[in-house]
Amino acid sequence: MTSGRKYRKPPVVEALCEIYFAGSNWDETVPGRFYDRVKDRFPVKRQREIQEAEVAFAGSGEAAASVRRLPPWMQFLSEKGDRLIQLGRDLLVVNQLRPYPSFEDWEPVIYAALEVYRDLAQPKGVARLGMRYINRVVIPEPRILMEDYFTVYPHLPREMGEEHGRFMVRFEVLSRKSGHGVLVTFGSAPPSNPSEIVHLLDLYDIFKPSDMLPLDQVPTEVQTAHEDVEVAFEGSITQRLRQLFELEETS
């Protein structure tokens, strides 16, 4: 069950839904054909190079590090630059950047991109799904009490004092829905000016099905992932912070 809260000034700087497929019929023509299907809404095309670090251990126990270049992803951007589709073998990522409208507005974009990938690559199913929201919370005060704005924050032993500097906390919350879990990362971020305090609240729901997920069940798991992220977000903040985001009144 979701809170149903809406904000006039949501702190979301980026939301993304990533879908990892299995058994796609992939070849070099897929990105071009995909672009032909979406270019009316995503006319800007660019390539993203992907690299992966590798560490190999020799018989002597010495480690040798290297970087392996992976096949590039293609990126298709909206004309305004507020939406983005990223495409690779067995991977589809749909990003919503600022200004974040609402999940109801963004959700159909995910399914439209999924349908194009399905038609072109014909994957056997989905191996993993992720829903991530990155929130940049700006508080226009030079000093605050964390508990006034957040329910999640560093707790220091009394002997260490009540003030702290930069921090990062990270933990995983298990969902009541099978296969889902939310990774919560919360920490300080550099402010734009000394009269404000900035924090990043990164919420990442990861869904790992026990068996390959049929494509027609993706909307159900996307909605569950979004609900988990929403619950984690609302559970991490106080009413005072909701007022800063300008909570819309419901009738």
For the chain, the DSSP string reads ------BSS--EEEEEEEEEEES----TTHHHHHHHHHTTT--EEEEEEEEEEEEEE-TTS-EEEEEEEEEEEEEEE-TTSSEEEEEETTEEEEEEESSP--HHHHHHHHHHHHHHHHHHH--SEEEEEEEEEEEEEEESSSS--HHHHBSS-----GGG-S---S-EEEEEEE-SSTTEEEEEEEEEE--SSTT-EEEEEEEEEEE--SSPBPGGGHHHHHHHHHHHHHHHHHHHB-HHHHHHTTBPP--
Q: What is the mean pLDDT of residues 15-32?
A: 96
Which of 13-17, 25-29, 62-66, 241-245 has the weakest average pLDDT? 62-66
Residue-wise pLDDT for 85-105, tens only, equals 999 999 999 999 999 999 999
- pTM assigned to the model: 0.88
String of b and e for 65-80 (b: at least 16 CB within 10 Å)? Answer: eeeeeeeebbbbbbee
Query: Rounded CA gap, 92 and 215, in Å?
Result: 13
Report the percent of the chain where pLDDT is more than 90. Answer: 73
pLDDT at 51 over 50: no
Q: What is the mean pLDDT of the chain?
A: 89
Query: Rounded CA gap, 243 and 190, in Å?
Result: 23
Amino acid identity for residue 61 in this structure: G
User: Structure tokens of 94?
Assistant: 């749909």
The per-residue pLDDT for 3 is 62
Backbone CA torsion sign across 153, 158, 164, 170: negative
What are the boundaries of each domain within the chain? 1-23+124-251, 25-102
Which of 40-54, 118-132, 183-197 has the weakest average pLDDT? 40-54
Residue-wise pLDDT for 106-124, tens only, equals 999 999 999 999 999 999 9
